[in-house]
Amino acid sequence: MPYRAWFQCISGCSETYELNEVVYQCKRCGDLLEVKHDMEKLHRHSPEQWKKLFDERYRRTKWPYGSSVWGKKEWVCPTVSNDNVVSLYEGGSNLFWAERLGREMGIEDLWIKQCGNAHTGSFKDLGMTVLVSMVKQMIADGKNIPAVACASTGDTSAALASYCAAAGILAIVFLPKNKVSLAQLIQPIANGALTLSLDTDFDGCMKLVKEICSKNNIYLANSMNSLRIEGQKTVSIEIVQQFDWEVPDVVIVPGGNLGNTAALGKGFLMMKELGMINKQPRIVCAQAAKANPLYLSYLKDFREFTPVKAQKTLANAIQIGDPVSYKKAINVLKTFNGIVEQATEDELANASAQADKTGLFCCPHTGVALAALAKLLKKNMIRPDERVVVISTAHGLKFPEFKISYHENKLEEVNSRFANLPVEVSPQYDAVRTTIYRKLEQMSSGPSNAAGK
């Protein structure tokens, strides 16, 4: 008997749908769907058998299991045939012991999960491989799906465009004009997507793409489509696997549309249910203060949730005021003794730059997560002896304008404490030598951020 999975309404109205049905929300009550698995069947493997299987497949070359998403296929999306998997070898990203940064922040056991070291430079690949594979499966089964579309703050569109290009399917991306970085804009263009630049914000793009998809047979790739959450939940499994199946104490993730926060919890819950782990981490969602509806809800013990109008923030991928997955995220945070923290522009930019000075190259969203860590350490809500994993969501190279403006001290509301500008010096031995020794002197006398102002 094969492994089974299906969509199920999260409201408890118990509507279910096949995974190859074009459906994003419950048709009876309108609530979100989630993917459910035949747990009885999964229970027939012991935890040790699953661990062994996942470890044997991890980062090998047997199609499609070397991908860390498809290496856990039975737990993710068993109903796609291997022939229809569209994989670019996602997952398996570096889990980095940030020793020096941790020491500076006053915490010993700090790890950065480098989800941005990925094919399109963000964790979005983890979910998009599942969604596009299912589309390919549906097309193979005879469904008429001429294109796949998404609204995006930059990274979803890059992932969708790449996976669709790999599969030979048209991608249509809805981008808010002048609100994504140049690197994020060029990705779907390069991959041949129909790239729509719309004079609105993310929430405006989202409304439009939903209307286009619901009135035409174009498939919607936003994270209200819970197939993506299934792929993204493998981050939790992968982190635990990388720690030889030990669970960290705290995991911090930056949150915008809140799909990833939901996914993180789902992965841990599934491992717990199948006996793979016997404790659960605290989950922290970090938001930009300019787009903080979940933080505001947290301050009221999640008794209510009110969307906000997102303000412009350097952390553009989380500039979302009306997050689609807030209910799922709140459920996760309640289950995992969760915390929500926020970071100002100054805090996120300096946290990112401080991390860079210890060898990282952080995107602004990772800066939000690191700033949240610093604040929670200060408030004693995270202890310095705890093992903390910060999820780095995108590669810093996607955000060159952010980095350059920071070091030029030109970012609004930011005082660049770690600015490090190139030194113009005449091409002569003495001048170069003097410059080098001036720097060394500054470093031995000044504070640890000797390059700062």
Judged by CB under 5 A, the residue of 28, 43, 60, 177 near Zn ion is: 28
Q: Are 322 and 293 in contact (CB under 8 A)?
A: yes
What is the smallest separation between the CB atom of 248 and ligand PLP, expressed in angstroms? 19
11 binds Zn ion (CB under 5 A): yes
Residues from 360 through 379 that contact ligand PLP (CB under 6 A): 363, 365
Give Dmax (Cα) for the chain.
78
Nearer to Zn ion, 34 or 249 (CB): 34
Peptide bond into 427 cis (omega under 30): no
Judged by CB under 6 A, the residue of 74, 90, 125, 155 near ligand PLP is: 155
256 binds ligand PLP (CB under 6 A): yes
**3-class SS at 307?**
coil
Nearer to ligand PLP, 84 or 260 (CB): 260
Q: Which stretch of DSSP H or E encloses residue 230?
A: helix 227-232
Question: CA-CA distance, 409 to 417, in Å (whole number)?
Answer: 9
Sheet architecture: strand order including 170-176: 194-198, 170-176, 147-151, 219-220
CA distances from 181 to 159, 168, 224, 393 (A): 15, 26, 24, 15
Site string for ligand PLP, 378-417 (x = CB under 6 A): ---------------xx-----------------------
26 binds ligand PLP (CB under 6 A): no
124 binds ligand PLP (CB under 6 A): yes
What are the phi and psi torsion angles at 155 (to 5°)? -85, -35
**Closest listed residue to residue 145, CA positions, set 173, 164, 166:** 164
Q: Are 393 and 325 in contact (CB under 8 A)?
A: no
255 binds, among Zn ion, ligand PLP, none (CB under 5 to 8 A by kind): ligand PLP
Site string for Zn ion, 147-186 (x = CB under 5 A): ----------------------------------------
Nearer to ligand PLP, 5 or 394 (CB): 394
Nearer to ligand PLP, 263 or 277 (CB): 263
258 binds ligand PLP (CB under 6 A): yes
Judged by CB under 5 A, the residue of 5, 7, 8, 9 near Zn ion is: 9
Nearer to Zn ion, 175 or 330 (CB): 330
15 binds, among ligand PLP, Zn ion, none (CB under 5 to 8 A by kind): Zn ion
The region of 20-28, 92-100, 251-259, 436-444 touching ligand PLP under the rule CB under 6 A is 251-259
Q: Are 294 and 257 in contact (CB under 8 A)?
A: no
Q: How many CB atoms lie within 10 A of CB 411?
A: 19
**Measured between alpha carbons, how far apart are the two ends of the chain, in Å?**
66
Please return the burial class of 408, using the count of CB atoms within 10 Å of its CB with bins 0-12, 13-18 and 19+.
exposed
Please return the burial class of 263, using the count of CB atoms within 10 Å of its CB with bins 0-12, 13-18 and 19+.
buried
What is the smallest separation between the CB atom of 255 and ligand PLP, expressed in angstroms? 4
122 binds ligand PLP (CB under 6 A): yes
CA distances from 34 to 2, 10, 61, 227, 335 (A): 20, 6, 30, 8, 17
CA distances from 417 to 342, 352, 412, 444 (A): 20, 11, 14, 18
The region of 21-29, 84-92, 254-262, 387-395 touching Zn ion under the rule CB under 5 A is 21-29
What is the smallest separation between the CB atom of 8 and Zn ion, expressed in angstroms? 9
Nearer to ligand PLP, 237 or 317 (CB): 317
Residue ranges that bind ligand PLP, judged by CB under 6 A = 122, 124, 155, 223, 254-261, 317-318, 363, 365, 393-394
Residue ranges that bind Zn ion, judged by CB under 5 A = 9, 11, 13, 15, 26, 28-29, 31
